[in-house]
Copies of this chain bind each other. A is one copy, B any other.
Amino acid sequence: MKADEHSTNELIAELRTLLGERLTTSRAACEQHGRGESLHPPRAPDAVVFPESTAEVSEIVSRCARYRMPVIAFGAGTSLEGHVAALRGGICVDLTGMDQVLEAHAEDMDVTVQAGVLRTQLNSYLRDTGLFFSVDPGADATLGGMAATNASGTNTVRYGTMRDNVLALTAVLADGRIIHTGGRARKSAAGYDLTSLLVGSEGTLGIITELTVRLHGHTEAVTAAVCAFPDIAAAVQASIQVIQMGVPVARIELLDEVQMRAVNRYAGLDYREAPTLFFEFHGSNASAHEDAANVGAIVHDFAGEDFRWASDESERRQLWQARHNAYYAALAQFPGAKGIISDACVPISRLAECITETKADLDAAAVHACILGHVGDGNFHVIFCVDPADTAAIKTAEELNERLVARALAMGGTCTGEHGIGYGKMDFLAREHTDAIEVMRTLKRALDPHNLLNPGKMVAV
């Protein structure tokens, strides 16, 4: 139940006393905090607060609880399913001021950070340790936001998702209580796995304020390559073969010919405009060389051409920059366009079928769309580039996306590999987990009985 206007003002006054200038009700700030990077209708919160510690978040949430006021956690604002829209108003807790690296344990290969630390900031911090934080969703998100959405991305095929890499959390619950979950031991069988429950819960069960994540060692050799294929099916079949052969690639990414054209135009590059795989290999000099040779043989079998090596670090950076810019490159082709991004993930044996059928569906509909994906995990995206004013185009994209989800589910896949549910995919979630969804509701009710934490997201209660 949303507080009335009077009590909203009373709460905001209380919070202002607590936080001073670290609270704002300015329209611009509120609007900016009610939207992610998608076309889902945004909704501004009543106020935005900028806490600097877990204790402050606890105090803020306690007071909101007393007023039955919704609380929405906010990181870099790069989510794609409307996760941060303040659907019932409320207080947005912007965690970007909590940007301290608290404790790095190089010898244990873990680090504890505040939730607002950015992915690139953490890797800069780690530069001299020989270690890196692996999860890379593309956007320069906060670690708290990445944990809350179970982010993954390009090198998940080797190093795992956010859930695989979070060892411990500090979180504030709906009543303001602070809890600590997990620990720094590499494994534990002590109690229910609250860490995995909070990771991916999108701020609906608790607000993550600190987290301990695993780090990985830089390997002796890092090499990269691109390879073009005659058609998308061949590219996908080659990537499936690489995974099934057990080659420990660090990244294996697919971009279709539409996406490659966009990438070339965006950055003035001259890649062949055909379905293309981008590879990265991490290992010793000997093993990276061995992996690359094995992959070379496989792509040859699938008529891959122009297997082009990034011979030095600058060329490798350029190659991955091209991949990282893919989303913006796609949009840049159509000035004023916005993206609607699908996010299916299927068992790898069904991937070629799923992508081929999807491609045919896109071609038949004559929309502006390209395909790219983390094919080593069976995960791929369609980026629909639409004019936000063109309701017919949006409807078409949504219908294509719905057919894609149905196709993925029929193949034993999931409606979202990495973007999460927000309020954009709640129907799909219910369709995917027809019986388990009720258990999710039970957990939400148990941990947030007044439905104050990011209400209207994930599960309807």
Contacts and interface: CB of A to CB of B under 8 A. Distances in A.
Contacts of A161: 187
Interface of A: 105, 107-110, 149-152, 156, 161, 163-164, 173, 177-181, 183-194, 196-197, 199-201, 205, 217, 219, 240, 244-246, 283-284, 286-287, 290, 343, 345-349, 377-379, 408, 412-421, 425, 428-429, 432-433, 435-440, 442-447, 458-459
11 contacts: A108-B349, A110-B347, A177-B438, A181-B436, A184-B347, A189-B416, A190-B429, A192-B200, A193-B193, A196-B197, A286-B287
A69 B45 CA distance: 48
Contact of A417 (B187, B240, B442): B187
Given A188-B417, A413-B185, A445-B446, A194 B436 contact: yes
Contacts of A191: 200, 421, 429, 432-433, 436-437, 440, 458-459
Nearest to A446: B446
A193 B290 contact: no
A246 B129 CA distance: 13
Nearest to A183: B414
A150 B189 contact: yes
Given A107-B349, A150-B189, A194-B440, 20 more contacts: A105-B347, A163-B196, A173-B439, A180-B433, A181-B436, A184-B413, A186-B347, A186-B377, A186-B378, A189-B200, A189-B414, A190-B416, A190-B420, A190-B421, A190-B425, A191-B433, A192-B197, A192-B205, A193-B193, A193-B200
